[in-house]
């Protein structure tokens, strides 16, 4: 194995799944690795302890429970895990010393063989990326799902082959610190305010997302949402070839809906993707996700004839508008991944009404007043949890009946008492989970456990 990092010191920031994978990759190539995280070692044990066991006598240094400024000044380069923003104050020490700061996906790109299909946007990334991965494999390609879901991209680098194709979910944080990273196909699904607790303005957030196109050329493709004005406008700026998707009308090049059929139009003519009824997912936003996935997969080399079976077999992703159970005629849905206001809007739009909505968590700077029209029209009761409960209550005052709960299981119990047969109980928090849970997956699991306990 190559020892190309012999004599180099790498500071890996973030010691969860991606950070541990990056650390292992660098250790195997001769680097001294300093792995740092603000969380204590016991909280990171699932990722750190296997790494320590594999590292053996390799030069691995753990700095957990807090960051050390001297480590940010004394390394040769920094690798950031996906959840670490480039605004982390300690990174100023590295910048002042002229030390390169790289996203984990940037490190992976420099060593990866194969083709990257990069997918970002405010909402729908995980569903779309997962479906693209299914389409790649269903089309007989060596397709993998990577990035912010599943396996970190760096995990594939050592064994990658030229025929590999990677459906890769990318966050704005990751895109802030790419340098050479160049996806053959890059998609922005939509642009709505998110992470406003981390960015100075919506424009700054958009600028981070737009970096996905920065190294592309005319031989590459930019997949854009024709129905989202901010996203569609990027067609005039990207250096690559624009391809659109739209659920509202035909596009000159890309995927759209016509008479109940999903169609892809390219330079060689039109190809049928599937029928609208082949899609098993709730909500018009998931129609958009399927259109985007089809365009990305076709540009990635999938035969259109295989797409219908992939769409028919796709039942969605855990924690994304996931049906959990029916209890006494009430349907319970888990959309814990709805971590911003726009995602909750899309979740509410998937149901005609009679909704008992569980909202709240850690505020990401969202405008909860934008929920008022849908709350008035479709929500019977909102049950509020977490740090943002007070702000949400103020924003929705007079629009819907509201109740507070001290915990998520208590919120489920409140809904169980108030809901009637034919109603829907929906967890779509419009907030981050970190005030009460490890992550949105943890929050979704707690919700499902509480629902299944009712059923039991």
**CATH code at 353?**
3.90.190.20
pLDDT at 193: 66
Ranges of residues in the chain whose predicted pLDDT is under 70: 1, 56-57, 193-198, 456
- Beta strands 322-327 and 330-334: pairing type? antiparallel
Inside any domain, residue 413? yes
**431 and 389: one domain?**
yes
Q: What is the largest CA-CA distance in the chain?
A: 67
**174 and 73: one domain?**
no
pLDDT at 321: 85
**161 and 251: one domain?**
yes
Number of domains, the chain: 3
pLDDT at 430: 96
201: three-class secondary structure by DSSP: coil
pLDDT at 57: 60
pLDDT at 291: 98
pLDDT at 319: 87
Tally the C-alpha atoms within 13 A of residue 208's C-alpha that lie toward its C-beta: 28
* Interatomic CA distance for residues 1 and 282, integer angstroms: 47
**158 and 38: one domain?**
no
**47 and 135: one domain?**
no
Cα distances from 120 to residues 192, 208, 217, in angstroms, run 12, 10, 18
**13 and 43: one domain?**
yes
SS3 labels along 13-56: ECCCHHHHHHHHHHHHCCCEEEEEECCCHHHHHHHHHHHHHHHC
* 252-271 tens-digit pLDDT: 999 999 999 999 999 999 99
**82 and 159: one domain?**
no
**120 and 76: one domain?**
no
For helices 284-299 and 125-138, the axis angle rounded to 10 degrees is 50
- Beta strands 32-37 and 221-225: pairing type? unpaired
Which of 281, 312, 343 is the C-terminal boundary of a domain? Answer: 312
CA 82, 83, 86, 92 dihedral sign is negative
* Interatomic CA distance for residues 370 and 184, integer angstroms: 36
Contact status, residue 343 vs residue 195, Cβ threshold 8 Å: no
Which range of residues forms the domain containing residue 343? 322-455
Which of 312, 335, 351 is the C-terminal boundary of a domain? Answer: 312
* Interatomic CA distance for residues 172 and 291, integer angstroms: 22
Quick one: tokens of 131?
Answer: 């479906």
**183 and 199: one domain?**
yes
pLDDT at 441: 92
pLDDT at 182: 98
> How much helix, strand and coil, in percent to the nearest 5, is found in the chain?
35, 25, 40
| 144 DSSP β-pair partners | 166
CA 92 to chain CA centroid, Å, is: 27
**156 and 16: one domain?**
no
Helices and strands (DSSP H and E) totals, the chain? 17, 20
């Amino acid at each position: 194995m190559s020892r190309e990092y012999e004599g180099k010191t790498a500071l890996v920031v973030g010691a969860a799944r991606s950070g541990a994978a990056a650390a292992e990759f660098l250790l195997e190539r001769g680097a001294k690795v300093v792995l740092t995280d603000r969380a204590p070692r016991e909280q990171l044990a699932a990722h750190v302890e296997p790494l320590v066991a594999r590292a053996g006598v390799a030069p691995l240094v753990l700095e957990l429970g807090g960051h050390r400024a001297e480590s940010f000044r004394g390394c040769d380069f920094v690798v950031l895990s996906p959840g670490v923003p480039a605004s982390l104050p300690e990174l100023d020490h590295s910048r002042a010393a002229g030390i390169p700061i790289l996203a984990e996906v940037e490190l992976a790109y420099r060593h990866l063989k194969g083709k990257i299909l990069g997918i970002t946007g405010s909402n729908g990334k995980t569903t779309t990326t997962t479906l693209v991965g299914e389409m790649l494999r269903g089309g007989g390609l060596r397709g993998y799902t990577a990035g912010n879901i599943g396996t970190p991209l760096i995990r594939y680098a050592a064994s990658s082959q030229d025929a590999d194709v990677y459906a890769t979910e990318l966050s704005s944080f990751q895109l802030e610190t790419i340098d050479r990273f160049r996806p053959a196909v890059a998609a922005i699904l939509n642009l709505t305010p998110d992470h406003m607790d981390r960015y100075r303005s919506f424009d700054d957030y958009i600028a981070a997302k737009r970096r996905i196109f920065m190294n592309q050329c005319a031989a590459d493709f930019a997949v854009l949402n024709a129905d989202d004005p901010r996203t569609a406008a990027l067609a005039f700026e990207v250096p690559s070839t624009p391809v659109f998707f739209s659920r509202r009308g035909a596009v000159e090049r890309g995927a759209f809906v016509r008479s109940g059929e999903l169609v892809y139009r390219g330079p060689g003519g039109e190809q049928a993707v599937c029928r609208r009824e082949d899609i098993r997912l709730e909500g018009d936003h998931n129609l958009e996700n399927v259109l985007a996935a089809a365009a990305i997969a076709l540009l990635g080399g999938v035969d259109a004839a295989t797409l219908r079976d992939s769409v028919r077999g796709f039942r969605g992703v855990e924690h994304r508008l996931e049906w959990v159970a029916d209890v006494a005629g009430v349907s319970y849905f888990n959309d814990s991944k709805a971590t911003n206001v726009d995602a909750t809007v899309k979740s509410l739009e998937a149901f005609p009404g009679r909704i008992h909505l569980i909202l709240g968590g850690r505020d990401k700077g969202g405008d909860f007043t934008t929920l008022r029209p849908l709350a008035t029209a479709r929500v019977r009761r909102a049950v509020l949890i977490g740090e943002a409960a007070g702000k949400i209550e103020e924003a929705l005052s007079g629009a819907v009946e509201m109740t507070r709960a001290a915990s998520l299981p208590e919120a489920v119990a409140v809904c169980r008492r108030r809901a009637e047969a034919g109603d829907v109980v929906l967890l779509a928090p419009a907030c981050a989970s970190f005030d009460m849970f490890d992550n949105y997956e943890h929050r979704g699991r707690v919700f499902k456990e509480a629902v299944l306990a009712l059923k039991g």
